[in-house]
Amino acid sequence: MSEEKNLGSILVVGGGITGLTTAIEAAEVGYDVYLVEKNPYLGGRVAQLNKYFPKLCPPACGLEINFQRIRKNPKVKYLTMAEVESVSGQPGDYDVTVKVKARKVNENCTACNACVEACPVDRLNDFNFGMDSTKAVYLPHQMAFPMRYVIDEKACKGSSCAKCVEACKYDAIDLEMEADTVNLKVGSVVWATGWQPYDASQIDTLGYGKVPNVVTNMMMERLAAGNGPTGGQIQRPSDGKVPETIAFVQCAGSRDENHLAYCSYICCMASLKQATYILEQNPEAKVYIYYIDLRTPGRYEKFLKTIEANENVVMIKGKVANITADPESGDPVVVAEDILGGGLVRQKVDMVVLATGMQPSTAEKKAPLDFKYDEHGLILEDPQAVGVYATGCAKNPVDVTSGVKDATGAALKAIQTMVRR
C-alpha cells in the first residue's frame, strides 16, 4: 500500500488460486512479490473448472477480481512459463534462479488473433485434456491472464513456416526467442505448486484409456464449461451422444493404499456438483454415484441434501470393483458391491466419470528446497521453519476456501520473515 517503503520481496511459486492469493494478500500489505507460474497463464486448476461448489458460481468471477487487484498493484510482478531452478541463501536473503521458457510471442501481442488465422498446424489442447485442438500459436484459454498468445514449441514448424510472423502487424512473434534465466533476490519463499489430477490410467481396474467413455472429473469440468471443447454441451467423447445414464466412481485412486492413501477432500462435492451439470442439461438423465463415505463437511451438507432429494440421483455405497466395455455396445459396464442393498451390482451406463484425486505437483518434481515429503510427494511442513513455506494442495488436499485461507496465512509467515522485531 505505501509505495515509498521498500519492505522486502517475497517469492511465490505457483500461480493458482493459492499462490495468487498469497501474492496479492502480501502485496496489499505493502510487500513486493514475484509470482512464478509454469503455465502461460495465471489461475491454475481453478481456471479449468466450470463452477465452484456449493454456490455453483463461475471461478472466473473471483479470478477477475484477483486479476483486477494485480492490475492495480504494481507490487505484484509475475512471470509465466517460468520455473524456479534454484534457491540459495538464508531467511531474509535468498538468491533465486528462475528459468523462463520462450513464449515466442512478446509483449507487443494485442490478442488480435491474426496469427491463429494464419497458422497451419494443429496441436492437442492440454487445457481441455486433449479433447480438442488449437493451432500451434494459441491463446491458452479465453479468459487467460495475461491476455497474450503463446507458441507451442513442439508443434510449431518454426522459421520454415513463419506464416504467423507475416500475419502479425505488431512484430509480436519472435520465433527465435530463447529461454531466459532471471535472477531474483527475495526475503522469503512460499511454495504453492498445487496439484495435478491423479493419473487415472494407473488404476487398472477402472478402464480409463481402455474402455470408451470413461472420463475423469476434470475432463467433465471441461465438457461442461462454455469455453470447453464442446461449448458446454455434455457429450460422450466416442460418439457425441448426450449421455442418459452416468456413473460416478468416487475414490478413484484416493483412500487406496495402492494409489493415494489419503482422501482427496473435494471429490465427493465435485461429483455432486457435476450431477447438477448433467441434470441441468438433461433433467431426465440418471446419475449413479458409487461411494465409500459421502464426505460433505460443514455446511456442504446442505448441498448433499439438495442433490439427494433429486430422484434421478442414486447413491450406492460400495467400492467399484471394475469397469469393462460391454461386448456388444461397447458401453462401459460398472461392477460394484452394493454394501447396503447387498450383492453385486452390474450396471451398463452411457458414460463413467472417475472422481480422481489430487496428487501434489511435487510428486513429479520436487522443490529445489530442503522440504521433506510423504510417500505421495506432499510437502511435510516444519511448523518451526523460517523463510520457506508451503501452502495449499502442495501439502494437503483441500478445497478452494481452505486453500485460500492457508495461502493468506502463508503470506503473513512470509512477511514475518522480514520483520525482525
Q: How many residues does the chain have?
A: 421
Helices 59-72 and 17-27 meet at what angle, rounded to 10? 30
Q: Which residue of 89, 91, 368, 409 would you call a contact of other proteins, by CB under 8 A?
A: 409
- Taking the CB of residue 294, how many other CB atoms lie within 10 A of it? 18
Shortest distance in whole angstroms from residue 219 CB to other proteins:
18
Q: Which residue of 19, 40, 62, 243 would you call a contact of other proteins, by CB under 8 A?
A: 62
143 binds other proteins (CB under 8 A): yes
The order of strands in the sheet holding 245-252 is: 214-216, 351-356, 245-252, 286-291, 313-317
Q: Which residue of 147, 167, 242, 325 would you call a contact of other proteins, by CB under 8 A?
A: 147
Q: Which residue of 29, 116, 131, 155 would you call a contact of other proteins, by CB under 8 A?
A: 29
- Closer Cβ to other proteins, 57 or 344, answer by number: 57
Three-class secondary structure of residue 281 per DSSP: helix
Instruction: Pull the grid cell for residue 340.
Output: 447396503
Q: Which residue of 296, 347, 356, 359 would you call a contact of other proteins, by CB under 8 A?
A: 296
416 binds other proteins (CB under 8 A): yes
- Closer Cβ to other proteins, 154 or 421, answer by number: 421
Query: What is the rounded distance in angstroms from the CA atom of residue 355 to the CA atom of residue 1?
Result: 42
Contact call for residues 20 and 35 (beta carbons, < 8 A): yes
- Closer Cβ to other proteins, 210 or 302, answer by number: 302
Q: Which residue of 11, 13, 17, 211 would you call a contact of other proteins, by CB under 8 A?
A: 17
Query: What is the rounded distance in angstroms from the CA atom of residue 38 to the CA atom of residue 83?
Result: 6
Going by DSSP bridges, is the β-strand pair 379-380/372-373 parallel, antiparallel, or unpaired?
antiparallel
Q: Which residue of 258, 299, 327, 370 would you call a contact of other proteins, by CB under 8 A?
A: 299
Q: At 90, phi and psi to the nearest 5?
A: -140, 170
- Closer Cβ to other proteins, 272 or 349, answer by number: 272
Query: What is the rounded distance in angstroms from the CA atom of residue 243 to the CA atom of residue 317?
Result: 23
Number of residues interacting with other proteins: please give it, by CB under 8 A. 85
- Closer Cβ to other proteins, 13 or 294, answer by number: 294
255 binds other proteins (CB under 8 A): yes
Going by DSSP bridges, is the β-strand pair 332-337/320-325 parallel, antiparallel, or unpaired?
antiparallel
295 binds other proteins (CB under 8 A): yes
- Select from 93-101, 128-136, 281-289, 373-381 the region that touches other proteins (CB under 8 A): 373-381
- Closer Cβ to other proteins, 213 or 296, answer by number: 296
Query: What is the rounded distance in angstroms from the CA atom of residue 339 to the CA atom of residue 317?
Result: 6
What is the DSSP-derived secondary structure letter of residue 241? P
Write the CB contacts of 199 (distance below 8 Å, at least 6 apart in sequence): 359
344 binds other proteins (CB under 8 A): no
Query: What is the rounded distance in angstroms from the CA atom of residue 325 to the CA atom of residue 322?
Result: 10
Query: What is the rounded distance in angstroms from the CA atom of residue 132 to the CA atom of residue 230?
Result: 8
337 binds other proteins (CB under 8 A): no
Shortest distance in whole angstroms from residue 157 CB to other proteins:
26
386 binds other proteins (CB under 8 A): no
Q: Which residue of 8, 43, 59, 194 would you call a contact of other proteins, by CB under 8 A?
A: 59
- Select from 94-102, 124-132, 347-355, 392-400 the region that touches other proteins (CB under 8 A): 392-400
Q: Which of residues 204-243 bind other proteins (CB under 8 A)?
A: 225-227, 231-232
363 binds other proteins (CB under 8 A): no
Report CA torsion sign: 70, 194, 200, 303.
negative
Angle at 43 between CA 398 and CA 232, to 5 degrees: 90
Query: What is the rounded distance in angstroms from the CA atom of residue 52 to the CA atom of residue 49?
Result: 7
Q: Which of residues 159-198 bind other proteins (CB under 8 A)?
A: 169-170
- Taking the CB of residue 180, how many other CB atoms lie within 10 A of it? 14
Query: What is the rounded distance in angstroms from the CA atom of residue 137 to the CA atom of residue 105?
Result: 9
Shortest distance in whole angstroms from residue 307 CB to other proteins:
14
- Closer Cβ to other proteins, 1 or 179, answer by number: 1
- The 32-51 contact track toward other proteins, x by CB under 8 A, reads ------------------x-
Q: What H or E segment, with its residue span, contains residue 94?
A: strand 93-100
Query: What is the rounded distance in angstroms from the CA atom of residue 323 to the CA atom of residue 208?
Result: 9
Q: Which of residues 94-113 bind other proteins (CB under 8 A)?
A: 108, 110-112
- Closer Cβ to other proteins, 56 or 179, answer by number: 56
- Select from 183-191, 195-203, 214-222, 261-269 the region that touches other proteins (CB under 8 A): 261-269
- Closer Cβ to other proteins, 60 or 214, answer by number: 60
